[in-house]
Structure 1
Amino acid sequence: MNLERISWIAGIISAIIAVITLILTKDTGNQNIIGNQNIVGNNNTIINEKKSISELIRRESKIEQVLYPVSRIGHKISFPQFKENIPSVQIQKINELIKKKILEIYEKNKFYSKVEITAEQTFNDFDLLGISVEIYLEELDAEIIRKNNIPEKEAIFLLWISGAHPLQKSTGFVVNLLNVEPYEFKDLFRINGLEKVTEIVKTILQEDDIYFDCSKKKINGYFDVSILKEFLGYESNNCFKTIRDDTNFYFTPSSLIIKYSRYEIGPGVIGAPEIEIPYSRIKQYVNPNGPLSFIK
């Protein structure tokens, strides 16, 4: 092969390489690296995440308390939403889940003349998001009772307590930020761990004297189970016996918080009690594959 032909082939190869380089440069021209995050495209879509979602949220967004528009006078709903500096599909999903959970709570409690639902962030670390929810209700709508065929004894009770003082319900949830799914209380501990946690909770309740003990047969203040179910939306005996698999809870940086609504485990005078359990008291019982596995 003569020198002229070799030179011609080399020129063709150089041209092909130049074209390929131009194409690749154009396709990745909008790609940036922020920390260990690869951000690409005009919308700065995250395509590779090496750091935790918790860290991403803290660094690339700020949390704001949003007042959700409700047409009915006397009803107020607020919950946290993340405002992004860099758009992220993951953060959008988290925002949607928070809104969905709070609106589900509202749908179950909108039959009162006054409704106030306030959700706040309590934890954001280890790819977990903790949310506490407080619900205040006043003046149950008598027309709603009639339309829903609520039995007379339940109706009388609900009308009485809703007119006597604000009703308090209390709940919370913890979200896995990787798959944007909420955890249940049963996910937190080993199979035999719930029994140990029940003992811890009972000790705390006894110290604070804020509950009815289900082991005592007769206690003034007990409500009919069907009445409580109508009010709470789930089964309750107006006393504490054991931790349920569906117990309401949330996390803080230092503690597991178990939440109970008014009348759920004791007299109305105690309001909606919260049981704070430091992580150090439960670390030996946690599910090693569950959301509390970060406890050391």
Structure 2
Amino acid sequence: MIQQLIYNKRNRLFIVVLWFILITYFLIQWAIDDKSFETGVAILTLFASNIFSIMIPTQKDTFKVDITEKEIKLKLKYSDDSKVIYPIFKYKDNTSIERKINNLINFIYLRLQLDIKNKIPLKDSLAEELGDFSSEYEVTYKNENILSLKFLSYFYYKGAAHGNSEIITLNINLLTGEEFEFKDIFRSYGYEPVEKIVKEKLLEHDCKDMYFDFESIHLRVNQNFYINNNDNLVIVFFKYEIGPGCCDIIEIEVNRKDFLDFINPNGPLSLLYSKYTEDRYIDKGHTFDYIFSLHKRFKF
């Protein structure tokens, strides 16, 4: 939770106020010739070199992510209107993370066998076979440290009875520029209860009577998912993954209150959900995090 300590405005205000209260106290002790002054100065000097960076952390600016949208048309034999709309990210003052994010975006399209830089399929045979293709994206969640993206693509091969849709999700830790997966967000004992919640919701879905084998449905370590604007988790099942094509892509939204107890405290979503779980830190043994949350209960 160090990021929360440094980058949350209320946390920074509390640290600065506390620092000035302590320095004032020890100056008074020095004025009355109390030896605790020497001890106090030794302690405060440990923080003095960083106090101004806490007041105005320069790294805050690196959280400014600008997203521009670009549209390209693909060169396909049977279609003049196949297009791809994709995002390009500009990460202020942090070109390293910016490059990582855009490389992750490019890799999404490489998985779709598309070269978005040259506006062509990677294989000549695809240009000959695809009757239609389109792809667009949605930013489902963005804050200072988490970015969730959903890419929706539609394929139609010449001569096929119908087209197919596909969703690929991408979840990025903006503190590092790295992608994180489903296996990274929960404690080891959290998979079973979360899976149970998802299966209960699947039984409420319109396709509840059409699943191939309901008992065999399990959440994979690389399960497709994204965070939405309600801070909830959305689990994605591919078309044909658990049911027939008429069910299409199945998305199951899990309310945050149902999985807060299972969030990995060292995982990428711990900062996002800390605002809902601070009163649980002591119960979970995270007394270090709990101490930093106490200031919210203080009255000045």
Q: How far apart are residue 260 of structure 1 and its match?
A: 1.9
Give, in whole Å, the separation in 2 of the partners of 1:119 and 1:98: 14
Taking a change above 3 Å as real, the CA distance of residues 65 and 108 of structure 1, as seen in their structure-2 partners, is closer
Q: How far apart are residue 190 of structure 1 and its match?
A: 0.7
Give, in whole Å, the separation in 1 of the partners of 2:264 and 2:234: 17
Aligned counterpart for 2:87 among listed residues 80, 83, 87: 80
Is the contact between residue 82 and residue 91 of structure 1 (CA under 8 Å) also seen in structure 2?
Answer: no
SS state at 1:208 partner: coil
Q: How far apart are residue 88 of structure 1 and its match?
A: 4.0
Aligned counterpart for 2:226 among listed residues 250, 270, 282: 250
Give, in whole Å, the separation in 2 of the partners of 1:246 and 1:52: 32
Structure 1 equivalent of residue 75 of structure 2: 71
Taking a change above 3 Å as real, the CA distance of residues 121 and 272 of structure 1, as seen in their structure-2 partners, is same
Q: How far apart are residue 210 of structure 1 and its match?
A: 2.1
Q: 1:140-219 counterparts in 2 under 5 A?
A: 163-211=160-208, 212=211, 214-215=213-214
User: Which sections of structure 1, spanning at least 5 residues, go unmatched?
Assistant: 1-32, 38-47, 141-158, 217-239
Taking a change above 3 Å as real, the CA distance of residues 106 and 188 of structure 1, as seen in their structure-2 partners, is same
Structure 1 equivalent of residue 237 of structure 2: 260
Q: Which residue identity does 1:122 align to in structure 2?
A: T
Give, in whole Å, the separation in 1 of the partners of 2:220 and 2:199: 13
Q: Which residue identity does 1:189 align to in structure 2?
A: F
| TM-score, normalised relative to structure 1 | 0.60
Give, in whole Å, the separation in 2 of the partners of 1:53 and 1:270: 42
Q: How far apart are residue 67 of structure 1 and its match?
A: 1.3
Taking a change above 3 Å as real, the CA distance of residues 74 and 175 of structure 1, as seen in their structure-2 partners, is same
Taking a change above 3 Å as real, the CA distance of residues 53 and 128 of structure 1, as seen in their structure-2 partners, is farther
Q: How many residues align?
A: 202
User: Which sections of structure 2, spanning at least 5 residues, go unmatched?
Assistant: 1-52, 116-120, 277-300
SS state at 1:266 partner: coil
Q: How far apart are residue 108 of structure 1 and its match?
A: 7.2
Root-mean-square deviation (CA, aligned residues, Å) is 2.8
Taking a change above 3 Å as real, the CA distance of residues 94 and 178 of structure 1, as seen in their structure-2 partners, is same
Structure 2 equivalent of residue 229 of structure 1: none
| TM-score, normalised relative to structure 2 | 0.60
Give, in whole Å, the separation in 2 of the partners of 1:262 and 1:93: 32
In percent, how many aligned pairs have the same letter?
27
Report which of the two has the higher share of helix. 2
